[in-house]
Homo-oligomer: A and B are copies of this chain.
Amino acid sequence: MKDLTARQKEILGFIHEYIQTNNYPPTVRETARAFSISVKGAYDHLKALEKKGCIKTSEKRSRSIELVAPPEDDTPVVQIPLLGEIAAGKPIFADENFERTILVPADIVANRVPHFALHVKGDSMIDAGILSGDIAIIERSETAKNGDIVVALLEENVTLKRFYIENNRFRLQAENPRYAPIYTQDLRILGRLRGIYRSY
């Protein structure tokens, strides 16, 4: 699939676009016309592309170009729940919190661990490029490593902070100098930050 010459890439690109807009592939002559070259010129390119495995054609049939392994390799997506207002005292994963589902590329949700999403509120993580209103994609996990950004349950409040283990306590560190670190010995980690999604 590699080893394509510049010209061949152009031709392949044209076929792509053509199919995109017409839903059916071009003829040899249409390809030739698109590049202002002779029919045989285009024909040779198509045969070269076929030999290189980028394309498949059926003999003697018009418009029988098929793209082999087209770029759109089904990048799958997964649906994860977006949790809305997290009321103090309620279990975070209760049904009441469910707002809607959002779709995220499956490569984020790499391992088969469940994920969820939260609206970010406040500016405590602003220096990490996380703004109020962003959607945070969280991998559900009870544990975290030093320096991970986590969603933690802290005295019935849910908060997004950077997480550190110190001698005999945990430190939850905002990424904003106006917020002091929180020290606690009693906290529950709900998940680790895996992605941020923002819409303008």
Q: Within the assembled complex, what's the spacing in Å between the Cα atoms of A195 and B9?
A: 30
Q: Is the interface of A mostly helix, strand, loop or mixed?
A: mixed
Chain A residues within 8 Å of B, Cβ to Cβ: 9-10, 13, 22-25, 27, 58, 62-67, 71-72, 75-77, 79, 95-96, 98, 100-103, 105, 107-108, 126, 129-131, 134, 149, 192-200
The 9 A-B residue pairs whose C-beta atoms are closest, nearest first, are: A196-B198, A63-B63, A129-B131, A13-B95, A62-B62, A129-B129, A23-B66, A195-B199, A77-B103
Nearest Cβ distance between residue A135 and chain B, in whole angstroms? 10
Which B residues are in CB contact (< 8 Å) with A198? 129, 195-197
Q: Within the assembled complex, what's the spacing in Å between the Cα atoms of A79 and B74?
A: 10
Q: 27 A-B residue contacts at CB 8 Å? A: A22-B58, A22-B64, A23-B66, A24-B24, A24-B25, A24-B64, A27-B62, A62-B62, A62-B63, A71-B98, A71-B100, A75-B79, A75-B101, A76-B103, A129-B129, A129-B130, A129-B134, A134-B196, A149-B200, A193-B200, A194-B199, A194-B200, A195-B198, A195-B199, A196-B197, A196-B198, A196-B200
